[in-house]
Structure 1
């Protein structure tokens, strides 16, 4: 059987040099040559961006520094921004930021224009919700619509007077003047195309604008940049870098790979410098069902390994089975590191965070928060929840130091956390033994955490009882030392104690309920959660691994355990039929879960440098096997039924 479907052809390492040379030809003020660079997995996208920046620095550094101009590099995430900053030489002519930060910096201060934008937009939104409520039925959806109607009506009243606005990057500020991510992008897109003053400010400040991961960048923002270039092509050069096959977040421009605005130059990077021939070949075959872009492996690249392990749904002892699979991969590849759970060059990719929670042992904790809204879950999955970080970054290290009787480390944590027991007032009140209260509190704390099954609540109670740490406000109502509506006591400037009335805070009932249940679970789950969030485990999510690479990758596909609805590997591999709704969308040319799953499969399949294991839990092993072979995703010898 021909190998053309399975092994990618090879090209010399410098095959894509013509692309980088072509990009440099665009990088001249007044060139009128904005460009889109399509760069698949392992193609060296960041290298091309870095080379373009170095070229511009050598050409314009002195002039731009003198004129106060900069080169804007706009990324999709903070991690991507940090990676670019790490790769380029520090220079004031480079401005690296996320798309949200860039857009906010452009509209900040346009308070009256933002107010008018809302005054035009909210009545339309309000009319749509009121119409839905008239036609809808009673129930939770109706209650949500009614709350939205009240919120929009109150905001309209608030907007009757001039206001100033702030940006809330964390999405936790419910004040009417706080702009969300989504609104910042919408307002920027509108202003860039309708406010000549802002347009002039942008192009005068940034003659060159690079947008990384452009496939995930909000489509309204991308289209506003297209309009900007069309109107000001003699004053600004815009460069987009990305790969439409790696678009896995909502809101991106779906047509970016299929069409382009007139006057833009397109570059295609064809090399994959990362992976072995077999893995590049699989990526090409996946793309053959989509945009048909093809990559080459480097001359001299190894053949590499791809294996598929097919297992029935509902299988018990998955941890043992997956360990056995890694052992088989070690035997197949001759690479014993497959069984090393501490290896930084091995990744096990899971579809949902809760799958990692079960495998790592923080599933009870995660389950309690799984019923909250996506904003809260996202912050927990990103390690950005203030209350959970209180446990993972302060209390857990304290517990470790206490159990090891490392008093120096304990004191260091207490000082860094500004423990009330180390404040001057507390020390002065116990002059005979200033640290007596702190020692007593530490002993009580150690007694509690010595129980490996202690709950979060009991740990919190002992900290509150002994005033060991300042407890975040949302957690205060869960411990006996705090009463929900009691007056708070604070020292005044003279050191006396005075009563001040607590200000009420609007709380999310679902989050409060989740915390009430989560506090009853085992405290030491927090270690496993922290390891996962800090990237100190081999488990990662399918979506979160984009942009990373590893020597060896195992992808676990289990629709039943994931319980999601955005992706379906059972549909993608032909076990389940498309739903009627998805069939309608497909006929209409709209995106379906099948399209999203194909892109996700491409992303996960192209993270490995040398060996790749796909573990597929399915309701029909025989059908999966037949379809893998029919799609040329697998040779028959690469499929193993466990």
Structure 2
């Protein structure tokens, strides 16, 4: 076990042990920085100490379901990778449980296929004279595909689990597992008994982000099977994904255990996140970060400020200005550093500010503005097929060449370069030494094409590599390169994808460097949804509804009272349903609670005076910590 178990017990740890001793199911509500994982590890240790020998002899294990593979690794490291603890993500756990039930799996797959066909039929019935021809064609194509699958699915002998689904190949994807698992558990008393027998203790970490269907299925197991202890570890205020269950409703005989301590945040940051949380639930956190000064634990005061800036086209420059101000005000030069050691994290709702700061604004606009969700998402995730040649091969190759890492250069060429393959080099007409000399010359030219001062475009680089046999291109790219003419804006005979890729090919290739730095997390920028569970010494949170306009689920202006609620918001409020305010408050809480010491929130607003008055009225920040551009300019001028 890790050093977590040696940390002092909190009241929640003591209450949790009582629940485990009585085998009572429970829900732990643990605020940010409260040591939730520590309590979970202590619970696992307690079970091992009190029942471990008996349970091991019976072949039983303790299940711990996590939300991400990162969390899975963290807990596994803490328990020393002891197989007695079945720590896994929900997908892998469900597949391990369900894999032997191939007959039930096939029944579920067949039912899903029929359900999809029924959906297509309903869509066809709702077609009108205004329905586009492409919509009709897509419906006909999808219907034909699923009818073919339906006619041949009985020939599939068994199913396995991979990333994406292909039913006729016997492959189930992520979405299938997460949908099928709860369904089969709920429908099968036998499966419930098997699950509870194998795992008499079942813990679900980050329960607020676990899908409701799985939570309900596990509740049913707990209700139907004796000697089964179900435990949830989470925080409803940190639910920032739409599919999460949020708060776990207590069942009869269950106990809720609150864990209000905060060991992460400085005093100023803790005060701020408590103010954010106050309108969300009744959990107010206490404690705060301490550091040893001459052997004495003293609280870290830190800072928490909000800067209200004019929303214009100079956002990146203003962000830099705020960071410069903080470096002066706090006497902390690391605020202006982008090096990883500085531990500065800038959290943006969307990637546009990062794109501008890191030098890929045109590339960002090409894939994000007026495109499809698929293109937009693949760009944000770094998985777009058109960009992969640069991510996997071209940029690493040039970087290795510049750094004189000859071994890495050779390894990359062996993996991706056609004229470095054994089959090519061994041909009688080819001289390996001559080819190597030519490649060295090509690398020098490629380095020039990708320099900061180069005016080369993406297609210039791809054409060069392709011409000299230095790359094997995806057919989707090779058929589009050459002259790569620009597509006219009013040309209606091209798809959105064609338009995007054409613009990308004509984009300055040096912008791909900035994009690579961002995707590989070599810059201080991250999206606000991508940092839950992390912590940083210095945090900047960007509040900018205009930048986040692609998502209507969040509005900082509404949360802060700058903008009126919509009719839908008011309707949801009256009905007691989740609103934009709820979602945005949770996201702001998660972002601000990442800070260990200093927090800077930057609000971009159209009317600075109105925004200042609204922010002051919320009481989230102390009045002296609400600042604007004038304050910053005065300090920087001196």
TM-score, L = length of structure 2: 0.85
Task: Write the distance in 1 (CA, Å) between the matches of 2:475 and 2:243.
Answer: 34
The answer to whether the 8 Å contact 1:74/1:98 transfers is yes
2:12 corresponding residue in structure 1: 19
| 1:409 and 2:411 aligned | no
Q: What are the residue-to-residue correspondences of 1:71-86 with 2, within 5 Å?
A: 71-86=62-77
TM alignment of 1:528-607, pairs within 5 A: 528-564=514-550, 565-607=552-594
- Are 2:243 and 1:244 aligned? no
What SS is found at the alignment partner of 1:560? Answer: coil
**460, 477, 488: which one pairs with 2:479?**
477
Cα offsets for 1:383-419 (capped at 9, x unmatched): 444653431232111112334565443213223x264
Does residue 331 (structure 1) correspond to residue 331 (structure 2)? The answer is: no
Q: CA separation of 1:106/1:354 partners in 2, compared to 1, >3 Å: closer, same or farther? A: farther
Match in the other structure for 1:272: 262
1:475 aligned counterpart, secondary structure: helix
In 1: Cα distance, 2:346 partner to 2:468 partner: 42
Moved more, 446-455 or 42-51: 446-455
- Please name the residue that 1:196 is paired with: 189
Moved more, 86-95 or 609-618: 86-95
The structure carrying a bigger helix percent of its residues is 2
Cα pair 1:421 1:438 within 8 Å, conserved: no
Equivalent positions of 1:184-583 (< 5 A) are: 184-234=177-227, 236-256=228-248, 259-298=249-288, 300-314=298-312, 316-342=313-339, 343-370=341-368, 371-385=370-384, 388-403=387-402, 406-415=405-414, 417=415, 419-430=417-428, 433-451=431-449, 452-479=454-481, 511=497, 513-564=499-550, 565-583=552-570
Can you give the 5+ residue segments of structure 1 that lack an aligned partner in the other structure? 1-12, 482-507
- Once the 2 structures are TM-superposed, how far is the Cα of residue 248 of structure 1 from its aligned partner? 0.4
Aligned length: 596
Deviation of 1:36 (Å): 1.3
Q: Distance in 2 between matches of 1:168 and 1:229?
A: 29
CA contact (8 A) 1:348 1:555 kept: yes
Match 2:599 to one of 612, 618, 630? 612
Task: After superposition, give the CA deviation of every residue in 1:18-60 in whole Å (9 maximum; x if it has no partner).
Answer: 21233233446xx441221111111011111222233344455
- Shift in Å, 1:464: 2.8
Q: Distance in 2 between matches of 1:621 and 1:323?
A: 19
Residues 1:47 and 2:38 aligned together:
yes
Using the TM superposition, give the Cα deviation of residue 150 of structure 1 relative to its aligned residue in structure 2, in angstroms.
4.7
Rounded to whole Å, the distance in 2 between the matches of 1:195 and 1:239 is: 22
Deviation at 1:14, TM superposition (A): 7.8
Matched, 1:116 2:107: yes
Any idea what SS the aligned residue of 2:28 has?
strand
- Give the TM-score of the pair, scaled to structure 1: 0.84
- The one-character-per-residue Cα deviations of 1:161-196 (angstroms, maximum 9, x if unpaired) are 423444342x48697854343332121111111123
Aligned counterpart in structure 2 of residue 179 of structure 1, from 172, 179, 182 = 172
Q: 2:293 is matched with which residue?
A: none
Secondary structure of the residue that 1:95 maps to in structure 2? strand
1:538 deviates by 0.9
**In angstroms, what is the RMSD of aligned CA positions?**
3.1
- Give deviations 1:518-567, integer Å, cap 9, x for gaps: 23223333332222222221111111111111111111111112323221
Aligned partner of 1:167 in structure 2 is 161
Distance 1:404 1:542, change over 3 A: closer
Corresponding residue for 1:487?
none
